[in-house]
Each structure stands twice: as C-alpha cells, then as structure tokens.
C-alpha cells in the first residue's frame, strides 16, 4: 500500500486499511435499486430553495458531450477482421477449401470490401454441410451482421452503449450526452445520461 496515502490519512505505517471490496459491497447491497442521482439532485434543490439561493423561475436546458473511451473502429477494419475469422474457421475444417475462396480485397475501399465479403459469404453458403458446423455458422452470422450494420451506416465499436452524435451538420462525435436542466443560479435540477444520438432536452423528466 502506498505510504503517502497512509500519511495523508494520518495512519501509522503498520495500521491496517479497509478491504478494497468494502465500497463495492456497500454500493451493491445498500444502494441497490436506488435512484441516487435524482435523490442527490432533489436534496440539493430543496436545500437551495430553503436557503433562498434559488429565486428564478426559469429553467435552462443544455447537453454536454462525452467521448467514449473505446475508439470506434472503421467499418472496413471490422469487415476485414470478420472475413479473416470466417476463413480460419473454414480452413480448420477443410484446408482444401482455400482454392475455391474468392481473392481478398487488398485496398481500403469499403465498397470493394463489401463486395468481397458478399462473395465469401455466398461461396460458404453454397455448401450446406459446411454452414451447419457451429464454428463456421457463428463466424458466418457475425460477418452477415457486420455487413448489414455497415450498409446501415452504423459505427462499430467495442463500446456497445455509445453511439455517434452530431455537434453540428459537419462535426460528429462518438460517445454520450449528459442532458442537464438548471436554474439561472446554475443549480442543477435534473440530469440524464443517454447515448450521443439522442436529441437535446426531450429525455429530461
């Protein structure tokens, strides 16, 4: 344990510290199913009204943008990876299949990659026995889903909750929005976090 933390907490070097899991247990057991954010905001607003801090009747609505920590992958990168995984699954069953596979796309053109993936998919689907194998079927379905997502202009990322939002007509970001309502005194009265594609304001209670 870092001694500087013990010094800051005025603890002796040999003094035992609490178990690291204590906070997690408290959060899961004592705060379970508790709308903690709204509870804290409500209490703050009540105190502000009681102390005469809030005097205005107007509410300002705004949204702040938060970028996802997971870097979004370009569709072509994901398609190439899915294609490689599918071919590996097929070759693990039948190495002689290599001769019948379509030539890989070597450039970074998305349309060319989609065309290659479609040829690869059709070639494998032509053999029903091969498609029925679980390891091949799983990779084939994954490639199909990725192709559909790409054609629907979705951004692919390991962060399944984040989405692409737009700051303006020309600029976009990948992540989340924090929708905030506040008084003229800058006291927050409501806050909701959504994925980035949601409109500003309507999701607030």
Q: Is 52 helix (H, G, I), strand (E, B) or coil?
A: coil
What global pTM score does this model have? 0.45
Contact 166, 177 (CB under 8 A): no
Burial level of 33, CB count in 10 A (0-12/13-18/19+)?
exposed
Rg (CA), the chain: 27
Residues 79-87: what's their mean pLDDT? Answer: 92
| Strands in the chain per DSSP E | 59-67, 163-166, 172-183, 188-195
Residue 166, pLDDT > 80, answer no
pLDDT higher than 70, residue 150: yes
Within a 10 A sphere around the Cβ of 193, how many other Cβ atoms? Answer: 16
- Please determine, for residue 170, whether its predicted confidence score (pLDDT) is greater than 60: yes
**Residues of the chain above pLDDT 70, percent:** 85
Reading the block at residue 39, the tokens are: 């509870």
Report which of residues 124 and 18 the model is more confident about.
124
b/e map 55-83, b = 16+ CB within 10 Å: eeeeeeeebeeeebeeebeebbebbbebb
Q: How far apart are CA 44 and CA 187, in angstroms?
A: 8
Chain CA centroid to CA 46, Å: 34
Residue 97 DSSP symbol: G
Give the pLDDT band (50/70/90) at residue 113: very high
Residue 11: pLDDT band with limits 50, 70, 90: confident
Closest CA to 130 of 100, 158, 151, 109: 100
Alpha helices in 63-169 (DSSP H): 75-91, 110-125, 128-132, 134-151
pLDDT tens column, 27-75: 667 666 667 888 889 999 999 999 999 999 899 888 888 877 665 667 8
Contact 142, 34 (CB under 8 A): no
> pLDDT grade, residue 25 (50/70/90)?
confident
Q: Which pLDDT score is estimated for 6? A: 85
- For the stretch 88-106, pLDDT in tens is 999 999 888 888 999 999 9
pLDDT over 60 (residue 20):
yes
What's the mean pLDDT when you consider all of the chain?
84
- Number of residues written out for the chain: 205
């Amino acid at each position: 344990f870092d001694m500087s933390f013990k010094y800051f907490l005025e603890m002796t070097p040999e003094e035992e510290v609490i178990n690291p899991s204590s906070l997690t247990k408290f959060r899961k057991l004592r705060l379970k199913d508790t709308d903690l954010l709204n509870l804290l905001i409500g209490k703050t607003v009540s105190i502000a009204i009681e102390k005469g801090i809030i005097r205005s009747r107007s509410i300002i609505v705004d949204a702040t943008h938060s970028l996802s920590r997971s870097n979004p992958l370009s569709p072509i990168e994901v398609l190439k990876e899915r294609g490689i995984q599918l071919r590996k699954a097929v070759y693990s069953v039948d190495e002689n299949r290599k001769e019948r596979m379509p030539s890989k796309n070597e450039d970074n053109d998305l349309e060319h990659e989609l065309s290659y993936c479609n040829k690869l998919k059709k070639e494998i689907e032509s053999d029903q026995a091969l498609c029925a194998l679980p390891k091949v079927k799983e990779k084939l379905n994954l490639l199909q889903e990725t192709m559909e997502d790409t054609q629907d202009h979705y951004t692919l990322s390991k962060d399944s909750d984040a989405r692409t939002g737009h700051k303006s007509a020309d600029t976009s970001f990948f992540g989340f929005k924090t929708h905030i309502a506040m008084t003229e005194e800058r006291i927050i009265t409501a806050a909701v976090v959504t994925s980035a594609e949601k409109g500003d304001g309507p999701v607030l209670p």
